[in-house]
Structure 1
Amino acid sequence: MDFVSLFRNSAPYIHAYRGKTTVIWLRDQAISQERLRSLISDLALLNSLGLKLVVLFDADCFEQRLNPQDIIDDDTLKQLTEEIGRRRYMLEALFSQGIANSPMHGSKMRVISGNFVMARPAGVFEGQDLKAQGRVRRIDVAAIREQLDKKHLVLIPPLGYSITGDILYLPPEQLVIELAKQTFADKVVIVGDNPLTFSQGQKEMDVSTLEALIHTTAPDQPAYLELLVASKVSRAGIARCHVVDGTVDGTLLAELFTRDGVGILIPRDQYDTFRRANLNDIQGILALLKPLEIKQILVKRDPEKIASQIDSFVVNERDGMIIGCAAVHKLSENQAELACVAVHSDYQNNGRGDALLVEVEKQARKAGITQLYALTTQTEHWFVERGFKRVDVSALPEDRIKLYNFQRNSKVYTKSIA
């Protein structure tokens, strides 16, 4: 796909994301010198496109990752605050770059960080005082909103401040969930280990499936923590959580602005679904049918014809785009014709047509249909492989025979779905 097509296909996402709040958690893997400069450019681009960004970053500077039950003594806190300060200033410096001929030229981004998060001590765990280990007490959402409305990026370190003036370390895996919940974020993006090694290439799953996978996986596996947090984010009511590989350039943009993404998506809503068509789907259906009409695989249908039959259509919608359709036109009390079967070229040869047929047959059975007919000139093998049998034209119901186009000479197939 060339640049123009890619840019055009990203337009729906630009429109959808404008004005929406996104919490982004940058894990250690993403905060490396070789990766960070391009990542900052991508975040600046997201900001310029109208996303409201709250960015949380890791600050773990020890050989063993800190856990929420670890004791944070004075020496540990000193090392943490020094590393947090270093990373914060490095991030602010990179967001300030603007030399000519660079992605950041003219961005003029404002990065705001401050005492947005109030914390309390975690207290005693299994008889041990965790000292400067903290938990979120309150987030100043109004102040964060004020900065986001000014198109500023809000930078959140894994620290909070207590009412007694103490500095407390806040585990980022807990803080990201609280930030998303309390700011009513539309989306959370976790930039860390490659999640596809964890999921064996599966790019989207509901939270129950993800939790089952986590339950059978060792905690030391790459991306385990990222996906564990993603499951909790989803359970907290956030509409969508993305986990992407922070070690590969461009994954943030590729995940957010392409239909299939490059990471793992955990949606609360139905991201990829089959449903009955409505009048808003007419243009999407026509776009699917047009290539097949040009090849004379299907008879040309105008928008008015589709509109009059819209209740007969089932569509496969993926992230707002119609990628598959089929129609079931009733011929008698228990007989119907399967027509207009089409799948977007990007999704052919991967089982979409089979899934569409399964859904069509399920809905047809609910409507009392026991016999399906299909008329075809060029795709007979597809129907044969899915249980359809060749019959003579005379096998069609009488009213359908009257409408049969003998000049087109379509072959007739039938299948019992009782």
Structure 2
Amino acid sequence: MSLVFPHTFVPWFRLVAPHIHAYRGKTFVVGLTGEAIAAGKLNAFVQDLAILHAIGIKIVLAHGFRPQVTEQLAAKGQTSRYSHGMRITDAVALDCAQEAAGQLRFEIEAAFSQGLPNTPMANATVRVISGNFLVARPVGIVDGVDYMHSGVVRRVDGAAIRRAIDSGAMVLLSPFGFSPTGEAFNLTMEDVATATAVALQADKLLFMTEVPGIRERQDDPESAIDTELSLAEARRLMIALPRPERPTDTGFYLQHCVRACEGGVERSHILPFSVDGALLMEVFTHDGIGTMVVDEKLESLREATADDVGGILQLIEPFERDGTMVRRDRHEIERDIANYTLIEHDGVIFGCAALYPYPEARTGEMLALTVSPQSQSQGDGERILKRIEQRARAAGLDSIFVLTTRTMHWFIKRGFAVVDPGWLPEARQRKYNWDRRSQVLVKKLN
């Protein structure tokens, strides 16, 4: 029997409690690749999904079956054929897809029916409902290629799915759709999950994939994972990337995240199935583990321009007046405007911060972090901090630091540590105001 240590378990459980409260009653659509099932990840994934279900999250699960169909074809002496990243489904491939889908549905339902003592599934009651929720149409002939029985989602019966998940059941969708004439079409899991998330206006769309997420630098396969992309950033990246053909191509899942956010899903995620518990880590930890694409709607997180100087001055002036911030004149802000990041809503600036690099010390100072009183406690400060961290990493910096007299605890909660002023780069030490006695806090970026 394993030991539970209160000094670690209790703080951890309290830490995740806000996420449990926030997600109860929310709707998640989860896309599970066939590769994850082939890699033996199904049971652990089902256990994690059952935990989400138990805390009141409404779940729709769409599964894929690429490797399983390929295996069925190989058993019949056939090979898989693809074009533009999509399977060409002839009559034999359609039979193989139907066989694979039936087998996987059986395995998934069996996994959710487990209830052995001393396992995460003990006392779990997860009712799984499947059905003809998807209307499909043929892909047709594209660039001279006849995709035959391959299709795309035409319509999702969102009302029927909503009734099922509202009753406490979990809906399982196989990548098959049917035409009004009863013809079956082989779909992709990504299309099914995305169309369903949009139809339900789901709170999250999560893909469990072969890739760890989106790298911060596309030319460096070892660079860190970009944990958050705005919809605008994701669109720009898609334009810059070559057309994705394989699931391991950067844009393969990203294109579906963009489509979902454009359709009204606020957050879409790309997670690695190779990491045990990736789903739980993404949902219940602040930074997550994969990449999240966020639809910022009317809000815009962007770098400042000369036109924003007046708005920044208006935002920070009350904090300068009460002594929370050091006063900065207009000339200084105009001169350094490229260093500023801001959040605006309907053209009004609600938050800002600036990054001043010290390249010789591989660090940078974040200053003027300000959020309007009307927008506080909504996460804007954290979003600005995350963007400043991204800018610092892109500049090759290893850390960022702040000087503060009143907000030390806010920064400590977000990974900063207090250091002696002697830690500061030499150039910054010369400007340190000993009379103000500001605390120096540093956050490592590795």
Residue in structure 2 matched with residue 308 of structure 1 by the alignment: none
TM-score (norm 1): 0.68
* Structure 2 CA distance for partners of 1:84 and 1:320, relative to 1, 3 Å: same
Residue in structure 2 matched with residue 54 of structure 1 by the alignment: 60
Post-superposition Cα deviations, 1:309-342, rounded to whole Å, max 9, x if no partner, equal xxx993597974976999xxxxxxxxxx974242
Q: 2:248 aligns with which of 217, 222, 235?
A: 222
TM-score (norm 2): 0.64
Q: CA deviation at 1:227?
A: 2.3
Query: Is the CA contact 1:141–1:182 (under 8 Å) kept in the aligned structure 2?
Result: yes
- Answer yes or no: is 1:171 the counterpart of 2:195: no
Unaligned residue ranges in structure 2 (runs of 5+): 1-6, 71-78, 217-222, 304-311, 317-323, 325-367, 386-402, 440-446
Taking the TM superposition and a 5 Å limit, the aligned residue runs for 1:133-152 are 133-152=150-169
Larger radius of gyration: 1
Residue in structure 2 matched with residue 21 of structure 1 by the alignment: 27
Q: CA deviation at 1:235?
A: 2.6
Residue in structure 2 matched with residue 161 of structure 1 by the alignment: 178
* Structure 2 CA distance for partners of 1:253 and 1:171, relative to 1, 3 Å: same
Q: 1:2 aligns with which of 1, 5, 8?
A: 8
Q: 1:243 aligns with which of 267, 270, 283?
A: 270
Residue in structure 2 matched with residue 359 of structure 1 by the alignment: none
Q: Partner amino acid for 1:229?
A: H
Query: Is the CA contact 1:192–1:223 (under 8 Å) kept in the aligned structure 2?
Result: no
Q: CA deviation at 1:238?
A: 1.4
Q: Matched residues in 1 for 2:27 and 2:438: separation?
A: 53
Post-superposition Cα deviations, 1:269-295, rounded to whole Å, max 9, x if no partner, equal 379999979xxxxxxx9xxxxxxxxxx
- Answer yes or no: is 1:206 the counterpart of 2:212: no
Taking the TM superposition and a 5 Å limit, the aligned residue runs for 1:122-133 are 122-133=139-150
Residue in structure 2 matched with residue 371 of structure 1 by the alignment: none
Q: Partner amino acid for 2:248?
A: P
- Answer yes or no: is 1:113 the counterpart of 2:113: no
Q: Partner amino acid for 1:227?
A: L
Query: Is the CA contact 1:24–1:54 (under 8 Å) kept in the aligned structure 2?
Result: yes
Taking the TM superposition and a 5 Å limit, the aligned residue runs for 1:74-113 are 74-113=91-130
Query: Is the CA contact 1:271–1:318 (under 8 Å) kept in the aligned structure 2?
Result: no
Query: Is the CA contact 1:271–1:319 (under 8 Å) kept in the aligned structure 2?
Result: no
* Structure 2 CA distance for partners of 1:170 and 1:320, relative to 1, 3 Å: same
Residue in structure 2 matched with residue 340 of structure 1 by the alignment: 406
* Structure 2 CA distance for partners of 1:2 and 1:142, relative to 1, 3 Å: same
Residue in structure 2 matched with residue 38 of structure 1 by the alignment: 44
Q: CA deviation at 1:2?
A: 2.1
Equivalent pairs, count: 329
* Structure 2 CA distance for partners of 1:40 and 1:338, relative to 1, 3 Å: closer
Residue in structure 2 matched with residue 389 of structure 1 by the alignment: 431
Q: CA deviation at 1:103?
A: 0.9
* Structure 2 CA distance for partners of 1:233 and 1:204, relative to 1, 3 Å: same
Q: CA deviation at 1:163?
A: 1.1
Unaligned residue ranges in structure 1 (runs of 5+): 278-284, 286-311, 327-336, 354-376, 394-409, 414-418
Q: Matched residues in 1 for 2:138 and 2:272: separation?
A: 33
Q: Matched residues in 1 for 2:127 and 2:198: separation?
A: 24
Residue in structure 2 matched with residue 263 of structure 1 by the alignment: 290
Q: Matched residues in 1 for 2:181 and 2:413: separation?
A: 58
* Structure 2 CA distance for partners of 1:179 and 1:412, relative to 1, 3 Å: closer
Q: Matched residues in 2 for 1:49 and 1:65: separation?
A: 42
Residue in structure 1 matched with residue 17 of structure 2 by the alignment: 11
Q: Matched residues in 2 for 1:216 and 1:121: separation?
A: 27
- Higher mean alpha-carbon deviation, 57-66 vs 384-393, is at 384-393
Q: CA deviation at 1:120?
A: 2.1
Q: CA deviation at 1:174?
A: 1.9
* Structure 2 CA distance for partners of 1:43 and 1:251, relative to 1, 3 Å: same
Q: Matched residues in 2 for 1:91 and 1:110: separation?
A: 12
Q: CA deviation at 1:155?
A: 0.3
* Structure 2 CA distance for partners of 1:69 and 1:41, relative to 1, 3 Å: closer
Residue in structure 2 matched with residue 184 of structure 1 by the alignment: 201
Identical columns (%): 31
Pairwise CA RMSD:
3.9
Query: Is the CA contact 1:53–1:154 (under 8 Å) kept in the aligned structure 2?
Result: yes
Q: Partner amino acid for 1:132?
A: H
